[in-house]
Structure 1
Amino acid sequence: MDDLPDARVEAVLFDFSGTLFDDTGVLDPASLAAAAARNGVHLDPAAAADVIRRTLRHVDSPEGFAAREGCDLSPRAHRTTWTTLIADAGPFAPPLVEAVYACLTDPHAWRPYPDTVPLLRALRDRGVRTGVLSNIGWDIRPAFARAGVLDTLHTVVLSCEHGIAKPDPALFTLACERLGAPPGRVLYVGDDPVKDGAAVRAGLPVYLLPSERSAGTARGLATVLRLAPRLLEPGDGGR
């Protein structure tokens, strides 16, 4: 995607997992061992790593992906779906299942990509309204607060709080209304061609990040400023 044809972008809307925050390093052996210990389960590092491998292999399998359909429509649906998948991955006993789920949904365990914070602050400094739209079953706001950028966001739209999820265009429309900008003036940035790419059905221009990513490396978010030249003019956007 090159420079937007009508470079007057008034707002930028972002996906969360895999776009602004790293989704590859949330589960780590040390954190899982600590969470398990709080539930009365002892795991040495090797055992914790094995639990993580087995869990991820199951939840990311074709069957796991199918089972996760609709899990982000409410916190209850998310918990039920994910704890069932985690339990079946072992099978694991309830105390260990709860420890894995607690780690997965701990907002403090999610880390922003190195270029996330600089971009959000740059957009704020240019007066560009920003928001996050995520298919998720728990509140991600504390993750942004921990990174020191919650105050840069004008809205956070979570599927579990509205009972609708991407690729439903209604969720994108709602987010644009919250941003106070028409869809054609809101750039959507995500990483999923199906769910994030569906923003075009609601009239938003879309920029999709590459699917390849790794922990601790920049996500390529600085490209957002190049895509919309008017964003580079301080005080011009979204006022």
Structure 2
Amino acid sequence: MTHIAVVDYGMGNLRSVAKAFEYVAPHARVEVTRDPAVVASADRVVFPGQGAMPDCMRELEATGLREAVLQAAREKPFLGICIGLQMLFEWSEEGGVAGLGVLPGKVLRFPSQGMMDADGRKLKVPHMGWNQVYPVIDHPLWRGIATDARFYFVHSYYPEPGRPALVAGYSLYPFAFTCAVAQGNLFAVQFHPEKSQAAGLRLLANFVAWDGAYDGAGAFS
């Protein structure tokens, strides 16, 4: 039986993430956990979260989960969601705090001025609601998902990877920003797949089936 650990460091209600995985993988063992030993023993790890970056980093340290998350990000199929994506980078403009440094790059805030859509209407920050996502690599987690599928977003900050090869997908608000990254056994998204209906559930099902192999080669076609 596949064991999926959903990391709970006290930031956000993770039940919706767990329920989505239980739906797409009814024979898997899905466990929301604060126990580093459970994270270490799981077959695959999901790293979600909500809230401000400084609070999330502080709580991750306080719960003793930092090293378990770092190890999982190196060794097994690993999925970051929302703030769980942002925390993987080196630094965030939100609070000017260091992240986990798993991935090179930084996290930036959407500009507070001059954000307009194609019709000249002012765009709000946070970016909230449904938006199209465009894959740029041929990755197992994109299988069966349309190249312009809509996913659900709630965020004011976005990642700017230090290496272009990390970018797995982008969205527009109004400029192109990275909303998915991939490196080896790690995949992370800025949007909420657990709230994104059919496309989101397909991504989660793909993660459950994924063996963690990805060589970083291959443009999306």
TM-score, with normalisation over the residues of structure 1?
Answer: 0.26
Q: Which has the larger radius of gyration?
A: 1
Structure scoring higher RCO (CA < 8 A, sep ≥ 6) equals 1
Give the helix-richer structure, 1 or 2. Answer: 1
